[in-house]
């Protein structure tokens, strides 16, 4: 694991070597700060909680996370530095995990910087901070799911724009699978078991479960399995590209 952490630190420091990290953090914090008040009815609800804050995360991550994940491998492949990485005394799987962890830590940092929202809601009332903590954990896991999907598509192409679009489209499918509109349509056309299966694969469903204050084993298994599967896929794709 030492090599993985070394690679993760290298990648993480690389984010802040360019303006990309600061631009991302700026827009992330602006959107996360404005949406609950502008569209979520934060004050109008007259409830001391952060439900309006977390309900936008699956949708905002659709745009923000692919902007981070698209450069994981596409940039390396386009510039040719991926061949240099392959000569380092580390395995391909260590590189895949190290890059993913760096991106996950970076988005985790962005999430931590939204802590003033917690201070605000505690100032205005007496929220259930246990539920808020669970929601933060859920959002962090959600970001990991998006990043793993993005890693797979970034490994598959040299074009960052294509990686962004593919990650966005697949992420949108994962979100819409749990949207009431889709579920209502599916309920009327397929058996209940299929509807439940579609619902269980949705980012919305898993996030809503955790945001209710319950860190369900099924949600942990879901995000863990998704992350592992996509990272394995990333490694396989990169290995195939190397051999080609």
Q: What is the pLDDT of residue 143?
A: 94
Instruction: Chunk the chain into consecutive blocks of 10 residues (it has 244) and report each block's average pLDDT, rounded to whole numbers.
Output: 82 82 86 74 69 85 89 71 65 88 93 88 83 90 94 89 93 83 69 72 83 81 93 88 61
pTM of the entire predicted model? 0.88
- Say what the pLDDT of residue 208 is: 81
* Rounded CA separation 229/57 (Å): 23
> Which residue ranges make up each domain of the chain?
2-39+48-243
């Amino acid at each position: 694991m030492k090599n993985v952490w070394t690679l993760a630190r290298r990648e993480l420091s690389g984010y802040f070597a360019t303006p990309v990290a600061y631009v991302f953090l700026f827009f992330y914090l602006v959107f996360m700060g404005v949406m609950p008040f502008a569209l979520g009815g934060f004050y109008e609800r007259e409830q001391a909680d952060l439900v309006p804050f977390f309900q936008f995360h699956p949708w905002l991550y659709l745009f923000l996370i692919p902007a981070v994940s698209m450069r994981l491998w596409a940039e390396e492949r386009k510039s040719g530095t991926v061949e240099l990485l392959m000569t380092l005394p580390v395995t391909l799987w260590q590189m895949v995990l190290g890059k993913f962890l760096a991106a996950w830590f970076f988005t985790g940092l962005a999430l931590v910087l939204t802590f003033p929202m917690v201070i605000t809601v505690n100032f205005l009332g007496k929220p259930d901070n246990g539920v808020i903590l669970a929601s933060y954990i859920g959002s962090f896991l959600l970001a990991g799911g998006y990043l793993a999907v993005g890693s797979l598509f970034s490994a598959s192409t040299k074009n960052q724009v294509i990686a962004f679009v593919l990650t966005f489209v697949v992420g949108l499918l994962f979100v819409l699978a749990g949207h009431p509109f889709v579920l209502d349509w599916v309920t009327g056309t397929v058996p209940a078991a299929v509807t439940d299966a579609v619902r269980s694969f949705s980012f919305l469903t898993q996030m809503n479960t955790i945001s209710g204050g319950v860190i369900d084993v099924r949600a942990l298994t879901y995000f863990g399995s998704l992350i592992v599967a996509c990272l394995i896929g990333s490694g396989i794709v990169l290995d195939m590209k190397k051999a080609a």
